A and B are shown apart, each in its own frame.
Chain A
Amino acid sequence: MVVTGESIAFFVLSMMAIGGGMMMISATKVVHMVLSLAFSLLSIAGIYVLLHAEFLAVVQVLIYTGAISILMLFGIMLTKHHVTEEDDQSPRRWHPFLSFLGVGALFAIIMGVIYQTPFANNEEVTQSYSLEALGKAVFKQYVIPFELTSILLLVALVGAVILAKKEADS
């Protein structure tokens, strides 16, 4: 395999993304988990740039690394009293091991399928990708899903406010 700038960038970014995910799983303090998740999501934005999806990279940084990470940080700071994930003696001692076995089996199946399937390598198509074409697709071809998404966001906003509001008489 020839070493190009793209492959080096992909290697570094994917290592950052996977390392962030691993740190999220293995960290002991919850705030460290949030930071490593934000790091992982930021690296995924870099992966989007490698895939000629620059607008998606910006959206990823804005929404995931910005908004959702801060929302999760609020979720932790408003709920937790002890900020560490303590490993007390739960009755299901074999649970992590069995989960690891199941997830490992799923991973093996997915990788087997991926590496046995032939993929077309038509890189020249991406030269025509532009923000203008993306906007035209969203606002012309997919305008009805776009409007439905706005309704869903409104419903989610109202629902989140009602759910998180304190009951008046309790």
Chain B
Amino acid sequence: MPATSYLALGAILFCIGLYGVLTKRNAVLVLFSIELMLNAANINLVAFSKFGLYANQMGQVFTLFTITIAAAEAAVGIAILFALYRNRNTTHADEFDTMKG
């Protein structure tokens, strides 16, 4: 398979995630879409560790770190969502407008 196929798959998944981030009202679904975007970036890293100009295994190391950070991000995001839900009793992202000027 050429490198363009993997990069195109990453681009498609990233755009699906971006559309979800922009349109979904439920904050949990926004977190889902962010996870999908991070996975698309990971596909690009692993694809370049195979097809890059200086292909070596370091791309996989970077993907390992990205997966770790994404796990921490998901945990903190869910915790923030719980705190917001306890205070505002909703998970709709467009109702969290306390900091609106």
Does the CB pair B35–A18 fall under 8 Å? no
List, in ascending order, chain A residues with CB within 8 A of B11's CB. Answer: 107, 110-111, 114
User: In the bound complex, what is the Cα–Cα distance between A133 and B52 (angstroms)?
Assistant: 18
User: In the bound complex, what is the Cα–Cα distance between A133 and B82 (angstroms)?
Assistant: 41
User: In the bound complex, what is the Cα–Cα distance between A138 and B9 (angstroms)?
Assistant: 27
- Contact of B32 with A by CB under 8 A: yes
Taking the nearest CB of chain B, how far is it from the CB of A38, in angstroms?
A: 10
Q: Which residues of chain A have a CB within 8 Å of any CB of chain B?
A: 6-7, 10, 14, 17-18, 21-22, 24-25, 30, 33-34, 37, 40-41, 44, 47-48, 50-53, 55-56, 59-60, 63-64, 67-68, 71-72, 74-76, 78-80, 85, 90, 95-96, 99-100, 102-104, 106-107, 110-111, 114-115, 119-123, 125-126, 129, 133-134, 137-138, 142, 145, 149, 152-153, 156-157, 159-161, 163-164, 166
Report, nearest first, the 10 A-B pairs whose CB atoms are least far apart: A156-B72, A163-B79, A160-B79, A99-B22, A21-B16, A119-B3, A164-B79, A107-B15, A110-B11, A125-B55
Does the CB pair A68–B71 fall under 8 Å? yes
Q: How large is the interface on B (under 10, 10 to 19, 20 to 34, 35 or more residues)?
A: 35 or more
Taking the nearest CB of chain B, how far is it from the CB of A108, in angstroms?
A: 10
- The B interface is mostly helix, strand or loop, or mixed, namely helix
List, in ascending order, chain A residues with CB within 8 A of B14's CB. Answer: 110
Question: With contacts A25-B19, A103-B15 known, is A114 near B82, CB below 8 A?
Answer: no
